[in-house]
């Protein structure tokens, strides 16, 4: 699973990245997690509002800080589906 956090580096973006990492660890997922800070790069990924979370090329969260529980639910759905 490839997970990207997209955002320019604001506190909300860092909080999102922290929650993503916590959810991945909690689920013991094998996932590649990265953070794209470049506005041009994340616009190419389909991001319109930050912070955003992209899983395997699809924007799954946009414009809010997702909770760890919300992220776990999303990641589990991608893992099984």
Beta partners for residue 36, in sequence order: 6
Could you confirm whether 10 is annotated as catalytic?
A: yes
CA 43 to chain centre: 15
Could you confirm whether 15 is annotated as catalytic?
A: no
Catalytic hit among 3, 4, 13, 54:
13
In angstroms, what CA-CA distances link 7 with 12, 46, 61, 67? 8, 12, 12, 17
Catalytic hit among 1, 2, 9, 10:
10
Q: Which residues are catalytic?
A: 10, 13
């Amino acid at each position: 699973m490839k997970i990207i956090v997209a955002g320019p580096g604001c506190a909300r973006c860092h909080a999102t990245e922290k929650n993503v990492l916590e959810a991945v660890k909690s689920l013991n997922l094998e996932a590649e997690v990265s953070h794209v800070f470049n506005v041009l790069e994340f616009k190419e990924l389909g991001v319109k509002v930050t912070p955003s979370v992209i899983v395997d090329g699809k924007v799954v969260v946009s414009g809010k800080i997702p909770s760890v529980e919300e992220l776990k639910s999303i990641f589990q759905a991608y893992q099984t589906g």
